[in-house]
Amino acid sequence: MPRCWQGNRTNDFACAPTLASFDPSTISQRESTMPWIRIDLSEGRTVEQKQKTAEAVTRALVEHCGCTPETVSIVFNDVSDDNWAFGGKLLSQRGKP
């Protein structure tokens, strides 16, 4: 399966399975303005860590933005060290000449 969130931004909606089945007519105008959250992480987080993060982010949005939990959409993107760079150097190449 292609990693759509790292590619062409115009393909995000079409590629993401959670968004492909999204029916915008099922939510109110107010709720439709709620943000969709994308969290980029280095690979290695557990499902439990992501679940707790999703719960905490959802609670914060409900509290501070006045939305319902059902309208909060979060995508976790696990990025390998070969696809993440700081200061012009891939994380996978740290410590190499």
- DSSP letter assigned to residue 35: P
**Hey, which residues are catalytic here?**
35
Is there a contact between 44 and 33 (Cβ–Cβ < 8 Å)? no
Task: Return the closest-CA partner of residue 39 out of 15, 5, 68.
Answer: 5
How far is 26 from 14, CA to CA, in rounded Å? 19
Question: Residue 21 is inside which H or E element, if any?
Answer: none
Strand ranges (E), the chain: 36-42, 73-79, 85-86, 89-90
